[in-house]
Amino acid sequence: MKKGHLSFSLLFWLNKSRSKNEQPVIYLRIRIGDKRTELSTYQHVSPGQWNQAGQCVKGTSEQAQATNRQLAILKGNLHRHYSLLIASGKTFTLEDVKNAYLGKVEHTRTLAEAFDFHNRRFADKVKSGKTSGRTLKRLEITKD
């Protein structure tokens, strides 16, 4: 996303095409600027109990309060991830916000991959005669 002011909004809605026991799933629509994406909250509610204007479950039952708490926590976490991405000062996309919330991170290197990288570079030094081939053999043994 470009730096500057971009609108960020969250909207809970019932996805009636995805229902369990005639209870639709509550979905969350994330919108930044003119881009949007959707996530399932994995919460089910009957359409009669859903307050679309308030984007919450009606009633004071324990189930309604628990669902509303889950929705509030989800909303807070998304706001937190969005704020952290803005505070980082880097450009980001809507998918970056979604991935940050879902816990998906960029591929990190494993120790074996780090050894392979180091040993390839070390092999180049061996070919040029700057280091010993015997040391490379020991490094390969260490990796194995």
CA distance 90 to 45: 38
Range of the domain at 126: 111-143
CA distance 33 to 44: 29
pTM of the model: 0.65
90 plus 132 within the same structural domain: no
Whether residue 24 contacts residue 32, with contact meaning beta carbons closer than 8 Å, is answered with: no
1 in any annotated domain: no
Q: Return the DSSP state at 17.
A: E
3 in any annotated domain: no
Q: How many domains does the chain have?
A: 2
pLDDT (average), residues 24-32: 92
46 plus 94 within the same structural domain: yes
2 in any annotated domain: no
- Give the range among 1-5, 64-68, 73-77 with minimum mean pLDDT: 1-5
60 in any annotated domain: yes
Q: Residue 18 is encoded by which pair of tokens? A: 């995805």
- pLDDT single digits (tens) 80-134: 988 888 888 888 888 888 888 888 776 667 888 888 888 888 888 888 888 888 8
Query: CA of 126: how far to CAs of 12, 24, 119, 121, in Å?
Result: 60, 64, 10, 9
